Amino acid sequence: MLYLWLKAFHVIFVVAWFAGLFYLPRLFIYHCDTTDPAGDARFQVMERRLFKFTVMNTVIAVICGIGLLIVQPAWLTQHWLQLKLALVVALLAFQWSGWLLVVAFRDGRNRHNDRWYRWYNEIPTLLLFAIVILVVLKPTL
Ligand code: HEM
């Protein structure tokens, strides 16, 4: 029963986490075309607040995920789970890159155009597909 509760909250906070991962690059897409100082300042505040909110959801989703592994440690021996964890590390690296971009915008050092951010936006989508397919199908690798 505890396991199922942890899984429910894991999925809920993963959804909230991804809302942030999808929205932050959208803000970058609009921000890089903004030239007026008031608009620039508003985007900076939105990006910083969204990032912090996303980190909170990340922490809760990861804690619930670790809780699932504490209750069911046998998953750790399965290759699909090991691959999933490697993809989660890639996801966290993507998230960290998002923070570096927030700081670059804050310091007036953005070097990318909206086309670049549109491609950047696809990275979490690919990771989401891969991770969800792994956890649901649990393939024998
Ligand atoms: C450190 C981070 C994470 C850990 C330790 C972790 C661990 C786990 C574990 C042990 C399960 C239970 C598997 C089962 O009972 O079938 C699970 C389920 C799940 N995880 Fe994660 N996870 C993490 C991050 C993520 C991420 C980033 C995503 C989405 C991209 C994700 C999506 C899911 C989904 C959708 C399920 C439910 C699968 C099902 O019930 O069929 N998890 N996770």
Q: Model confidence over 11-60: pLDDT tens digits?
A: 999 999 999 999 999 999 999 999 999 999 999 999 999 999 999 999 99
Indicate the number of domains in the chain: 1
Q: Which tokens is 135 given?
A: 């956890």
> Does pLDDT of 95 surpass 90?
yes
> Does pLDDT of 69 surpass 90?
yes
- In this structure, the residue with its CA closest to atom 19 of ligand 1 is 135
The domain in which residue 91 lies consists of 2-137
> Which of 123, 135, 137, 138 best tests ligand 1's pocket when mutated (most atoms within 8 Å of CB)?
135
DSSP letters spanning 64-114: HHHHHHHH-GGGGGSHHHHHHHHHHHHHHHHHHHHHHHHHHHHTT-----H
Contact call for residues 21 and 95 (beta carbons, < 8 A) = yes
> What residue type is assigned to position 92 of the chain?
L
Grade residue 61 by pLDDT with cuts at 50, 70 and 90. Answer: very high
pLDDT of residue 84: 98
> Does pLDDT of 6 surpass 90?
yes
Ligand 1 residue neighbourhood (C-beta within 6 Å): 7, 10-11, 14, 62, 65-66, 68-69, 75, 88, 91, 128, 131-132, 135-136
> Does pLDDT of 141 surpass 90?
no
% of residues, the chain, pLDDT over 70: 100
Grade residue 136 by pLDDT with cuts at 50, 70 and 90. Answer: very high
